[in-house]
Structure 1
Amino acid sequence: MQPAPRLDLRLSAFFKRPEMGTALGFLAVYVFFAIMGGPVFIGAPGWSSWLNIAAEVGIIALPVGLLMIAGEFDLSVGSVVPAASMTTAMLAGHYDFPALVAIFGGLAVGLGVGFINGIIVTRSAIPSLIVTIGVMFAVMGLTLGIAVMIKGSTSVSYVPAPLAKAMLGQFINGMFNVAIFWWLGFVALAYFVLHMSPLGNWIFALGGDRESARNAGIPTRKLTIGMFMASGFCAAFVGVAQVMTYQQAQVAGGQAFIFNSIMCVVIGGVLLTGGAGSILGIFLGTITFAVVNQGVFFAALDPNIGSIIVGALLLVAVLSNDTFRRLAAQASRTAK
């Protein structure tokens, strides 16, 4: 007679997971914009629109979320995206290097910026928020200065080779960007790292108590540097993909990714204080943000109203995620 109650407990625990708040939020905003946007929004044009947005911001939100779970921030992603774009376009479009060399050059920029962030954060007492703001402005200045010095312009055009275009910037059926599949691959990799490998426990431990994690033998410095490098790499990947997609690099592009990625992570239930969060939550937070972002356009709403909706969604998500987190803790104690 025991199996039934145990099944009930499992179902109860499932519906009290912290991610349920984000999942309900996604369903609510999708239904709202499906009604307001009509058949176009719920059809292929609507799905392709918000999935393309979700793919770009989602690739960056994943490592940003891991850093936030570990108690760190990375605002430099907003400068890495255009820096990687300009590097790729410069190498291939201006100096005529092969596309593969240009792509590696753009990705190397992200890894380098991430390494610098990690080194400064781990070897000083300066909070990562301040460090990455400083690095962001430094990279922005360098990108602008080098672009003007070499090209005399803040933009660089580049027509990618067919293979590079197909791998990183192709639109399937003219609507769905291939970046969507890259994003899903990054989601799978991040899920494995955080929830199925020992690194995940280390990341949670960093966010819970860094000193205790260090005393437990966790290589906190190497792990922190590695996460910052992953963040830089993903931001650079998006920058490179943008060049292949739009065939142009802009110095001013990328700033929106700073707060959009953090917003996706927070909507997904990651605590700003660190120590709690999940990849599923970040994934749901990303698609929720993307639906709102594009739903405003399809519903023909005033952009200012869209900003109000996004702000309200952020506040509601934080409150609901906290509620579901408490319910999840209660369910866990009950199951024991």
Structure 2
Amino acid sequence: MSGSRTTAPPAPAAPAADERLARTTPVHRLIGRPELGAVLGALSVFVFFALLTEQFLSPLGAATWLDDSATLGIMAVAVALLMIGGEFDLSAGVLTASCALLTALLAVELGWNVWLSLLVSLAFALAVGALNGWLVMRTGLPSFIVTLGSFLALQGLNLGVTRLATGSVQVSGVREAAGYESAGFLFASVFDIGGASFQISLVWWVVTAAIASLVLLRTRFGNWIFAVGGSALSARQVGVPVRRTKVLLFMTTAGAAWLVGSINILRFTTAQANQGVGLEFQYIIAAVIGGCLMTGGYGSAIGAAIGALIFGMARQGIVFAQWNSDWFMLFLGVMLLAAVLVNNAFRARAERTRR
């Protein structure tokens, strides 16, 4: 028709950009790392005490604060995984003593081989962890309440059984038990570097942190941990086995408690029934300093290990500086508050960057 105008069809809308394909700068990726605050904190504490006292940097000094950090770091890494999964375990500290006591009682009072005693105590620890996880998932109660009950039960069991078996609140004499030499080499030996003796627990700490980080960042189970911690309901809807994941996380914490208890009993050859009380809060604090959020779904195994390192450097640095040890609690409170603020700020910045 003369004079008519044809209208071109509208151009198809450009597909929305996938945020997963968006390019981010190295700085943005660095800010998104949960352990960044812990790394900065560790560097600050290291430089502060290195300038304050020469003993801090000596091989003997380094061996001291690394030793202080090692067993705490093993537990902090396991607790970090559990916290990323959205749960807490207040029985972890007392369970380290329970494992040490059980190993000692079987080896000393019943004359068992140390290796067999260790296997039985491992089975006991894993059973406690599985029970904690099952109760949390079965009842729907907060893990804080369930594991507080386990804490009290284990504390009473430690005191009651130890006193019943030995007439006191400690067990000693593991060094004379069969199998001690080989077990002690694996869990309590030392190696020399620069004229200072370092405990084998340092190696266990590094290995534990490396394995936990690999599992968390490179495996399907690691994805499940983040998913159940972020939202258990959403994770269940996409096929994540929420119950199995959380039970395994509680068993992982219990397994770490067994490892620390084994290291302690084979190193010191004496176990006290009241050991471990209060340490569970140090594990949680180290994990928070390392980048874990109290709400779950966010954190880092390496960050938790660095959080434990900050603990060890500060605690022993205060001793080297000949300050009153009471200052450590002030430091601990300041570090905890600072870590929470820094972690929240870094996470908010990372989320804004991804938008």
TM-score by length of structure 1 reads 0.93
Query: Structure 2 residue aligned with 1:80, among 85, 88, 95?
Result: 95
Query: Structure 2 residue aligned with 1:60, among 75, 82, 92?
Result: 75
TM superposition shift of 1:193: 1.3
Relative to structure 1, the CA distance from residue 17 to residue 233 in structure 2 (aligned partners, 3 Å threshold; closer, same or farther) is: closer
Which structure: larger Rg?
A: 2
Alignment correspondent of 2:272: 250
Question: Mind listing any 5+ residue stretches in structure 1 that lack a counterpart?
Answer: 1-5
Query: Structure 1 residue aligned with 2:191, among 172, 185, 199?
Result: 172
User: How many pairs were matched up?
Assistant: 327
Q: Secondary structure at the residue paired with 2:74?
A: helix
Query: Structure 1 residue aligned with 2:158, among 143, 155, 173?
Result: 143
Could you tell me the percent identity over the aligned residues? 37
Query: Structure 1 residue aligned with 2:86, among 71, 74, 89?
Result: 71
Q: Secondary structure at the residue paired with 2:295?
A: coil
Question: Mind listing any 5+ residue stretches in structure 2 that lack a counterpart?
Answer: 1-21
Question: Matched residues in 2 for 1:96 and 1:184: separation?
Answer: 33
> One-letter code of the match for 1:286?
A
Alignment correspondent of 2:320: 298
Question: Matched residues in 2 for 1:198 and 1:216: separation?
Answer: 13
Question: Matched residues in 1 for 2:245 and 2:30: separation?
Answer: 31
Relative to structure 1, the CA distance from residue 85 to residue 201 in structure 2 (aligned partners, 3 Å threshold; closer, same or farther) is: same
TM superposition shift of 1:171: 2.4
Alignment correspondent of 2:345: 323
Relative to structure 1, the CA distance from residue 302 to residue 326 in structure 2 (aligned partners, 3 Å threshold; closer, same or farther) is: same
TM-score by length of structure 2 reads 0.88
Write out aligned runs for 1:219-230 (5 A). 219-230=241-252
TM superposition shift of 1:11: 3.9
Alignment correspondent of 2:295: 273
TM superposition shift of 1:256: 3.4
Question: Matched residues in 2 for 1:265 and 1:184: separation?
Answer: 15
Q: Secondary structure at the residue paired with 1:141?
A: helix
Alignment correspondent of 2:9: none
Question: Matched residues in 1 for 2:140 and 2:245: separation?
Answer: 17
Question: Matched residues in 1 for 2:120 and 2:55: separation?
Answer: 40
Q: Is the 8 A contact 1:205 1:213 kept in 2?
A: yes
TM superposition shift of 1:153: 1.2
TM superposition shift of 1:260: 0.9
Q: Verify: 1:20 aligned to 2:20, yes or no.
A: no
Larger proportion of helix = 1
Question: Matched residues in 2 for 1:163 and 1:204: separation?
Answer: 38
Question: Matched residues in 1 for 2:108 and 2:275: separation?
Answer: 18
Q: Is the 8 A contact 1:80 1:109 kept in 2?
A: no
Query: Structure 1 residue aligned with 2:121, among 96, 102, 106?
Result: 106
TM superposition shift of 1:326: 2.4
RMSD, aligned CA: 1.7
**Between 258-267 and 285-294, the greater mean CA deviation after superposition:** 285-294
Q: Secondary structure at the residue paired with 1:176?
A: strand
TM superposition shift of 1:281: 1.6
**Between 158-167 and 248-257, the greater mean CA deviation after superposition:** 158-167
Q: Secondary structure at the residue paired with 1:123?
A: helix
Question: Matched residues in 2 for 1:177 and 1:256: separation?
Answer: 23
Alignment correspondent of 1:3: none
Alignment correspondent of 2:237: 215
Question: Matched residues in 2 for 1:323 and 1:71: separation?
Answer: 20
Question: Matched residues in 2 for 1:175 and 1:257: separation?
Answer: 25
Question: Matched residues in 2 for 1:240 and 1:309: separation?
Answer: 30
Relative to structure 1, the CA distance from residue 246 to residue 163 in structure 2 (aligned partners, 3 Å threshold; closer, same or farther) is: same
TM superposition shift of 1:325: 2.0
Runs in 1 of length 4+ with deviation above 6 angstroms? none
Query: Structure 1 residue aligned with 2:49, among 33, 37, 43?
Result: 33
Q: Is the 8 A contact 1:292 1:306 kept in 2?
A: yes
Alignment correspondent of 1:283: 305
Alignment correspondent of 1:197: 219
Relative to structure 1, the CA distance from residue 209 to residue 301 in structure 2 (aligned partners, 3 Å threshold; closer, same or farther) is: same
Deviations 1:148-173 (A, max 9, x none): 11111110112162211111011223
